[in-house]
């Protein structure tokens, strides 16, 4: 089973990379860590779950939200992308995945899907 977990937040042009990653593979499920702006403006595919966080919250608060939404939902192959978002969001996501016990691989899109 292949899952994509990506931040979809701040960073000029980063939504394009996230969109390219979504369409580059037939993911079993897609989880996007986003804010209210992303929730209101990003048009997700049917198998996409938006995890809305408060970017002004602490790393621990963001991490708890992510754990609540992802616990018991990820298994097997989990691909992660940090091209969008802030360092605080990235740290919260990485910490949440480690606490859940998820194995992961980092991916990017540069003309094609690439593991880094």
Pairing assessment for the beta strands 48-52 and 77-81 based on DSSP bridges: unpaired
Q: Is residue 101 part of a domain?
A: yes
Q: Is residue 52 part of a domain?
A: yes
Q: Is residue 83 part of a domain?
A: yes
- What is the b/e burial string over 59-87, where b = at least 16 CB atoms within 10 angstroms of the residue's CB? beebbbbbeebbeeebeeebbbbbbbbbe
CB atoms within 10 A of CB 57: 14
Are 108 and 81 spatial neighbours (Cβ–Cβ below 8 Å)? yes
Q: Is residue 5 part of a domain?
A: no
Q: Which structural domain, as residue segments, surrounds residue 72? A: 27-115
From first to last of its 116 residues, the chain has per-residue pLDDT tens of: 599 999 998 777 789 899 999 999 999 999 999 999 999 999 888 889 999 999 999 999 999 999 999 999 998 889 999 999 999 999 999 999 999 998 889 988 888 888 88
Q: Is residue 60 part of a domain?
A: yes
Number of domains composing the chain: 1
Q: Is residue 97 part of a domain?
A: yes
């Amino acid at each position: 089973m292949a899952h994509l977990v990506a931040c979809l937040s701040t960073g000029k042009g980063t939504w394009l990379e996230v969109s390219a990653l979504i369409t580059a593979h037939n993911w079993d499920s897609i989880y996007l860590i986003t804010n209210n702006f992303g929730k209101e403006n990003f048009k997700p595919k049917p198998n996409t779950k938006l995890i809305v966080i408060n970017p002004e919250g602490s790393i621990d608060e963001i991490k708890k939200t992510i754990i609540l939404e992802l616990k018991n939902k990820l298994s097997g192959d989990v691909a992660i992308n940090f091209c969008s978002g802030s360092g605080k969001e990235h740290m919260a996501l990485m910490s949440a995945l480690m606490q859940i016990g998820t194995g992961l691989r980092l991916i990017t899109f540069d003309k094609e899907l690439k593991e880094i």
